[in-house]
Chain A
Amino acid sequence: MPDKCEYGLLIDYEYCTGCYACQVACAQEYGWPEGMGGIRVIEVEQRLPNDRAYLSYIPFPTELCILCAPRTRQGLEPACVKHCMAACMKYGKIEDLAREMSQKPRMVLWVPRS
């Protein structure tokens, strides 16, 4: 059903610092009890040659993410996007976000269940 997949979240994970603001912003917006939430931050530690590694954090929208429909209807950004300390999350139409993805590497586009 294509009309159900119109919007998504674009994450520039080069700049996600793992501050967890998105996760708590979602908890505040919906009053989630322990263990539940619309977005989770994933930590990835990738070993590289020469004793280096790359630390990544990626906010992942869960089964509970509704892309903040009550907020976006009022013209507000989703709570996670608004508060992202690194300003590395973007809400928008999938095709617009997909175009933006071609501008730089280390991006991921999520289309949550919503």
Chain B
Amino acid sequence: MTKGKNRQIVRTTTWSAGPGCHGGCGVLAHIEDGKLVKIEGDPEHPWNQGRLCSRCLAMTQYINHPDRLTRPLKRIGERGEGKWQEISWDEAFDLIENKLGKIREDYGPESVIFSMGTGRDIGAWICMLAYAYGSPNVMFALSGIACYSPRISAVETVQGDYCILDAAQWFPKRYEDPRYQVPECIVVWGYNIPASCPDNVFGHWIIDLMKKGTKIITIDPRLSWFASRAEKWLRLRPGTDGALAMGFLNVIINEGLYDKEFVEKWTNAAHLVRSDTGKLLRESDWVEGGSPVNFVVWDTARQAPAIWDSQQLEYKSANVRPALEGEYEVSLADGTRVSAKTVCDVFVEQVNQYPVERVSEITWVPPKDIIEAARLYARSKPAAIHWGVPIDMTPAITPTVQAITDLWCLTGNLDVPGGNVISRYAFDAVAYALPGAKGVIKLKSKEDDEKRIGADQYGPLRKFIWRAQTDVTLEQIFTEDPYPIKGMWLQACNPVAGIGLDPKRWVEALKKLDFVVAVDLFMNPTTQLADVVLPATTFLEKDSIRSWWIPLQSINKAITVGECKPDIEINFELAKRFDPDFRWNNIHELFDEILKPSGLTFRELQQQGWAFPPEGHPSHPYHRFEKGLLRPDVKPGFQTPSGKVELYSVLREEWGLEPVAHYEEPPFTPISQPELCKEYPLILSTGRRSPVYFHAEHRNIPWLREIDPDPVIEIHPKTAKSLNIANGEWVWVENWLGRCKFRAKVTLVVPEWMVMTAHGWWFPEEPGEEPSLFGVWKSNVNQLIPMGFQGEDGLGAPIKHLLCKIYRVDEQEEARDAR
């Protein structure tokens, strides 16, 4: 497409550096004489339908920013001293090959950690490099891997495939498609609109649906935009989501508001649980030579046990009528007799431990509101739940997600139009090892994976999440047990300012390593501690693919900036150097292999821009579990060990963890820490979203910074008054780990008992060298959050519910310190 004389318009897809987000928006990039002059939303693109967010609309200031890194840099002073020398790419590649090659020779490839931030169009390519080098230790640098992967892993534990809010994103014509139905109700659970685009969803789709009549239930301690427009708003105490979900289940079960047919046909409600061990009764318990993966039900037709064959997905005998309730005596293979009860009974007993009054005590939500909201959700057909990252950001993430997953399953909202719809990668074209999928880019052998940090301790890391466990990795850098860590490759990863909790510990860790490479677009507090910094590109400066949910999309290069290289090109060059057997000759060949299941080549995909899986494909809705589209053996059912939705999780049992949904009090709350709470009486919640920033990015973009100039803390007017704090004043936020300062926003949005701060703050305008590190220690709230409090399954972290006190910054004291 062209317009005017020198103007060229390039159609492409957002993902990663630039707007920063999880992407998917179609854009038209206006290029004049090789420079970006304007960017607009693509009106033909079904994802964003012409709209575009503030971050993307500021791309001209980002691309042409005077501080962009445009040549590789080599450190020439001490780490953190801020002394750099520009070098050529050849020199940079040689240096890295040499240094990392030496570490591999001396300590083994597992001694280098490949660390990413939110990943995006980096996840695949950092795996490609790590695996070519031979290291299984690809790490997402957040404590407890607490962003999205835990939710995916937990949902897959229960139902085998992930699912999300249905906003008709599977259809080119979207809401107009006759197969689609607008949800009668959406539960917006811990999600706020200004962040706008979480993974897998364009946030404003919910606004589109509200205009079409969808009612909103909001679950949020904050009076968010959604909360102020909601039919029901439940202001829960942060971290108690699991209890609230159990309360919903309690109302739904006891008032009979669940889908009985779904429970009988599609869940493992009828499977028997031994009363002596509390574990599932397996065929191998019951008969000699029986299979340990098959389960036992009580057949009411024969008044005898019957076997559920988990491979064939049928009973071994004909016309079985399984009991959903009751306790039965069963003779085992070894002659002993045990009593066993149904999963249904075990589940209901668990649910009945959460009567609404108790849930109200835990969550601080009035009983009436819990009951009314549960009824509204259960009676709305269809209804969907859309959740945000606070669900991941608690140590008991998996039991919480089990409860929420049970909600949409039991109400018959799974994979139905307007419900929670199973979300797979388009055409099942998967680039790399992700939860539930192994992808084209893999480790060369199982042996290579044996040293992956944390995989031996944590079940989900052996089944769903192919990453090193972050908290264990950080510790291992210091203990060197069971093996030393010597190097780190950081790609769009900023643990000192953004993704790292206890960030001073990350500084110490980086300084302990022999060799650190950072790949990024601007200098930031983390790149300051590297030995080599490589300049990466935005999405407008590269060819790539977005085989990430639906639709399948190409990213098309529009411009070149300096000597910047796309992440994939950097990693491809080094992967070839590290792996003599590296199997791709060029990048397009790799793209073509990833895209193969779609039947398109990269060039073909580029020409059409995006592609939707057709009706009948496993990545196209609806009712796939009934049609046999979810399992490789095409049998109706789910990809779980039992082939059923598991109200009692087989995997959790095998991992030695509580198999049924439940609530656990987080580690730093007024309830779990009454003594600490005396000194730090306010609940500290972090991660207040800004409409103009993506995590630690964009503070250097003038149009965006102007809108949100300072790190903000929200304080309720009564709390502020009692502490003599006025709107706009700077306040210290302090707990036993440290303190940092924020500008007070006195607002009714937060309750009296809680404050909420922004995250990811550093000041690109301040000196980059130590001790300043771009002023990162002033307002990085992660200094008040510890590492090492991941959940029992290695996932989740207490990020949204800590304790603190706040007080006014004494300006005279500040001035004295400055002198």
Q: Which residues of A contact B (CB under 8 A)?
A: 14-15, 17-21, 23-25, 27-29, 32, 34-35, 45, 47, 52-55, 82-88
Q: Which residue of B lies closest to A53 (CB)?
A: B748
CB pair B707–A23 under 8 Å, yes or no, is yes
Q: How far is the CB of B23 from chain A (nearest CB, A)?
A: 15
CB pair A24–B204 under 8 Å, yes or no, is no
CB pair B223–A87 under 8 Å, yes or no, is no
Provided the pairs A53-B223, A53-B228, A55-B749 are in contact, do residues A21 and B211 lie with their beta carbons within 8 angstroms?
no
Q: How many residues of B contact A (CB 8 A)?
A: 36
Contacts of B749 in A (CB 8 A): 45, 53, 55
CB pair B57–A17 under 8 Å, yes or no, is no
CB pair A28–B38 under 8 Å, yes or no, is yes
Would you list 21 pairs from A and B whose C-beta atoms are within 8 A, ordered by A residue? A15-B211, A17-B204, A18-B691, A19-B194, A19-B196, A20-B692, A23-B707, A24-B692, A24-B704, A25-B57, A28-B39, A28-B60, A32-B703, A34-B702, A45-B747, A52-B223, A52-B228, A55-B224, A82-B50, A83-B57, A86-B207
Q: How far is the CB of A114 from chain B (nearest CB, A)?
A: 22
B586: CB under 8 A from chain A? no
CB pair B228–A17 under 8 Å, yes or no, is no
Partner of A55, one of B39, B210, B225, B706: B225
A8 to B746, CA, bound (A): 34
Q: How far is the CB of B215 from chain A (nearest CB, A)?
A: 14
Q: Which residue of A lies closest to B706 (CB)?
A: A34
Q: How far is the CB of B201 from chain A (nearest CB, A)?
A: 13
Q: Which residue of A lies closest to B701 (CB)?
A: A24
Known: A17-B207, A82-B40. 4 other contacts (CB 8 A): A19-B194, A19-B204, A24-B707, A85-B52
Q: How far is the CB of A3 from chain B (nearest CB, A)?
A: 30
Residues 474-531 of B contacting A (Cβ, < 8 Å): none
Contacts of B52 in A (CB 8 A): 21, 25, 83, 85
CB pair A19–B41 under 8 Å, yes or no, is no
Please, what's the 1-or-0 string for B307-351, where 1 marks a CB less than 8 Å from any CB in chain A?
000000000000000000000000000000000000000000000
A87 to B229, CA, bound (A): 17
Q: Which residue of A lies closest to B207 (CB)?
A: A86
A28 to B208, CA, bound (A): 25
A47 to B57, CA, bound (A): 33
Q: How far is the CB of A103 from chain B (nearest CB, A)?
A: 12
Provided the pairs A83-B40, A86-B204 are in contact, do residues A21 and B57 lie with their beta carbons within 8 angstroms?
yes
CB pair A17–B703 under 8 Å, yes or no, is no
Contacts of B204 in A (CB 8 A): 17, 19, 85-87
A73 to B210, CA, bound (A): 33
B54: CB under 8 A from chain A? yes
CB pair A24–B58 under 8 Å, yes or no, is yes
Q: Which residue of B lies closest to A86 (CB)?
A: B207
Provided the pairs A15-B211, A28-B57 are in contact, do residues A35 and B51 lie with their beta carbons within 8 angstroms?
no
A18 to B194, CA, bound (A): 7
Contacts of A35 in B (CB 8 A): 706
Q: How far is the CB of B686 from chain A (nearest CB, A)?
A: 20
Q: Which residue of A lies closest to B197 (CB)?
A: A85
A18 to B196, CA, bound (A): 10
Contacts of A15 in B (CB 8 A): 207, 210-211
Contacts of A27 in B (CB 8 A): 57-58, 703
A27 to B54, CA, bound (A): 10
Please, what's the 1-or-0 string for B200-213, where 1 marks a CB less than 8 Å from any CB in chain A?
00011001101100
Q: How far is the CB of A47 from chain B (nearest CB, A)?
A: 6
A55 to B60, CA, bound (A): 31
A-B pairs, top 8 by smallest CB distance, nearest first, are: A24-B54, A24-B57, A53-B748, A20-B54, A85-B204, A17-B193, A55-B228, A27-B703
Q: How far is the CB of B570 from chain A (nearest CB, A)?
A: 29
A54 to B228, CA, bound (A): 5
> Which of A32, A35, A82 neighbours the largest number of chain B CB atoms within 10 Å of its CB?
A82
Please, what's the 1-or-0 string for B723-755, where 1 marks a CB less than 8 Å from any CB in chain A?
000000000000000000000000111000000
A34 to B58, CA, bound (A): 13
Q: How far is the CB of B488 from chain A (nearest CB, A)?
A: 35
Q: How far is the CB of B705 from chain A (nearest CB, A)?
A: 9
Contacts of A14 in B (CB 8 A): 229
